[in-house]
Structure 1
Amino acid sequence: MGVAERERSKLLEEGGSCRDSKIGGAGGLELDEGGPDVDVRGGNLIGEAPPPEEVSIEEAAKSATAYTNPGPFEALTSEAKKYVFVDTFDGARLDLSKQLSPMMMINHNFWLGTSMLQNANKHYTFTSQVVADEDQTTVLVGRLDMNGTMEGRVIKTFRQDEDLSVVGKFVCVATPEFDAGSNQLAGDVDLSGKSWSGNVKYGCMGGGDYFSCNYLQAITPRFCVGGEAAYIGAQKVSVGSYGCRYNGVGWMGSAQWSGQQGALSLNYMKTITKDRVNFGAELQVAPTMESNVVFGAEFNLKQSKVSTVIDGGGGIKTVVEAKLHPAANLQFSAEADHLKDSFKFGYGMTIMG
């Protein structure tokens, strides 16, 4: 066996490939550049990815993106709407809240010199909230105003865990006139899971029976769709609405359509600066070819917050809230409608004790 053949056999045993060539006019050897190179340590072709590691189903489930609960259907557009809605008022308003114990809190609300109430320019409301048990699953809320209207609420959490949450609510409203249109008696149940939420409600409202149910489902971690159906016995009509929402990175968009009126509402919010500046917009379109657009912005400063809204009719609403103390806030409210020649101003204070 010649030298070339012995070298060829040696390279083949080590995993390489070779071919005859002429170097300096003599018979020589060189690696075959056209053939695949072999990693003699691992037995894999050089440049080829190693076989994937086996992953168990449990590990894959843990690494998968979890679906989040989309929240109640009633709050489908609330995140975007809060930047296009400003709670303006006129006159003077004072809110006093006192934590009497870890289980009880009371609130006094005074509103004087206002033109926003029907047949009155002043209003007072007393509210009390009590946690009825040690595990804090039952909350009682009572409210009484200066007109004698009483409202009572019972909120009971039956189950609260990762798989299922069940919360029941009972509401009773009574007026001194015992007007069937103003009195209310209703109960509802909130259900929510890892990726869905629903509500069922039944009661007597407006002088007739009332029944409604809604459902909201997360299709992806960022997108959810849902709908609501209701029957109003006093008017003998059935209504329905449908909506969807997409949560992007730093922005959110939602749409809601009302089946009876045929009205479409589109909402959008954008975080310009995290925890500082937020922007919102709303477009409402009706079959009567009437539409309305609203733009709003919220600015969170070091010791104050400014919220302003401008609608398509030229109306401007602004509320400035200044923090005087960790437990005291001062509000200034202004509303101007140049087309209607209407201007309203107010100031208020909120004190927590």
Structure 2
Amino acid sequence: MSSLSIPYEKAGVPLHDQPPSVDAPTSSSRLWTWASPITFRYSRFMSWRKNTLGLTNPGKIEDLQKEVKSTHLTNFIFDGARADLTKGLSMNPAFQVTHSFSLASQTNPSQYNFGAIFASNKVFMQGNVDHEGNISSRFNYGWTPSSVTKMQAQIASSPVGHSMLQVEQDHQGSDYSWNLKTVNPSPTDLSGLYVGSYLQSVTKNLALGCETLYHSALLPGQPSDFSTSFLAKYAAKEWIATAQLQPAGILQATYWHKLGEKLEVAADLQVIVSPFRRDAVATVGARYNLRTATFRAQLDSSGKVSALLEQQLAPTFAFLVAGEIDHVKTTSKVGVGIMIESNSLQAEETGLPSPSPY
């Protein structure tokens, strides 16, 4: 063996005085030498973004207006009579079934719905079937706490009904969120609806993003639809403001403010400015959380006044009263409902202490 093959550190030569290696550079070493300035600057940029800017995750894109929707009555108002009976069959994993009844509604026919929910640390499954045979289901699988695959399906019992399949992937990074979604995709001609959205925190409070929609033509000769919306969210300590600018001159802006531990207020403004239509609707609402009740009230610029009271009369029994008055159309709606929860579990299964025999 020649002296050149003897390691210099064994020969007593300091590392900083060693000559460069005489080995011929490999393709991987040349690639690393070319890419090292880029990787160095990228590492410096990521370190500066994390340590200096202090960016946080902006939240899920589908939850951009979550606080406003939980304050307003859009997803809670009802009329007629309704009853929800829920029975818990297991705590870990969670498994429960629900029987829902609705009667004498002015807008919807009377119906019965049976639903079941199963939830564990990674899996969430929900299924519903009504008295006409319409089926809807949801399935979520969490690969990691920040990456979730979701599927939704709806099967209509009649040919004129709307059947639907939706598949999406949701991911939340340290300071960003993105979502990919497809609705009724066809593997043969790739027709369907495709949506991609991205939301990035640019400061501690401000996040900006966009959502792109592509609707492939169902029939030959029909034009495909391609559009992009822009999103903005500003989250302070006690208030959140959002804005969404959609194609064709549609703007939606929301504002939510927590005035105290029990009181929340929210406002929503939708503006349409297009060559064919000019319209605007403003909605304000409040939510007041009492010790055993929740009261919501809402007023919009179209003349509608709505209110909903949910009174918890017992740990497993709640009574609901809803009302809406349309001053422009001179119409009104009233709804009453009950929610009953029960379980067939023993005390040790629910985690509660067993009652004393004395």
TM-score band (shorter)?
A: 0.7 to 0.9
Q: 1:171 to 1:63 in 2, by over 3 A?
A: closer
The secondary structure found in structure 1 opposite 2:147 is strand
Tell me the TM-score normalised to structure 2 length.
0.73
C-alpha separation in 1, matches of 2:339 and 2:53:
42
Does the 8 A contact of 2:61 with 2:197 survive in 1? Answer: yes
What is the Cα deviation at residue 154 of structure 1? 2.0
What is the Cα deviation at residue 276 of structure 1? 0.9
Q: 1:147 to 1:329 in 2, by over 3 A?
A: same
Q: Return the structure number with greater strand share.
A: 1
The unaligned stretches of length 5 or more in structure 1 are: 1-59
The secondary structure found in structure 2 opposite 1:74 is helix
What is the Cα deviation at residue 331 of structure 1? 0.7
Work out which of the residue numbers 141, 153, 165 in structure 1 matches 2:138.
Answer: 153
Aligned alpha-carbon RMSD (Å): 2.4
C-alpha separation in 1, matches of 2:136 and 2:225:
27
Moved more, 62-71 or 194-203: 62-71
Q: Describe the superposition over 1:154-195 as per-residue Cα deviations: whole angstroms up to 9, x where unpaired.
A: 2111122xxxx211112222112245x611122111111111
The secondary structure found in structure 2 opposite 1:82 is helix
- Opposite residue 214 of structure 2, the aligned amino acid is Y
1:340 aligns with 2:323: no
C-alpha separation in 2, matches of 1:69 and 1:198:
11
Aligned to 1:202: 182
The unaligned stretches of length 5 or more in structure 2 are: 1-47, 343-358
The secondary structure found in structure 1 opposite 2:121 is coil
1:186 aligns with 2:163: no
Q: Describe the superposition over 1:102-154 as per-residue Cα deviations: whole angstroms up to 9, x where unpaired.
A: 2321111111111121xx2x0111111224xxx73122222111111112322
- Opposite residue 243 of structure 1, the aligned amino acid is L
C-alpha separation in 1, matches of 2:158 and 2:167:
23
Work out which of the residue numbers 240, 254, 259 in structure 2 matches 1:272.
Answer: 259
Q: Describe the superposition over 1:226-250 as per-residue Cα deviations: whole angstroms up to 9, x where unpaired.
A: 1111122358322321111111232
C-alpha separation in 1, matches of 2:195 and 2:49:
36
Instruction: Report the count of equivalent residues.
Output: 281
Tell me the TM-score normalised to structure 1 length.
0.74
1:223 aligns with 2:210: no
Q: 1:238 to 1:176 in 2, by over 3 A?
A: same
1:232 aligns with 2:215: yes
- Opposite residue 234 of structure 2, the aligned amino acid is Y
Does the 8 A contact of 2:114 with 2:129 survive in 1? Answer: yes
Aligned to 1:43: none
Does the 8 A contact of 1:73 with 1:216 survive in 2? Answer: yes
Q: Return the structure number with greater helix share.
A: 2
Does the 8 A contact of 2:79 with 2:335 survive in 1? Answer: yes
Work out which of the residue numbers 162, 166, 175 in structure 1 matches 2:147.
Answer: 166
Does the 8 A contact of 1:68 with 1:194 survive in 2? Answer: yes
What is the Cα deviation at residue 289 of structure 1? 3.0
Aligned to 1:251: 239
- Opposite residue 294 of structure 1, the aligned amino acid is T
What is the Cα deviation at residue 80 of structure 1? 2.6
Aligned to 1:318: 307
Equivalences for 1:46-195 in 2 at 5 Å? 66-86=54-74, 87-102=76-91, 103=93, 104-117=95-108, 120=109, 122-131=110-119, 136-160=121-145, 165-179=146-160, 182-195=162-175
Q: Which has the larger radius of gyration?
A: 1
What is the Cα deviation at residue 97 of structure 1? 1.3
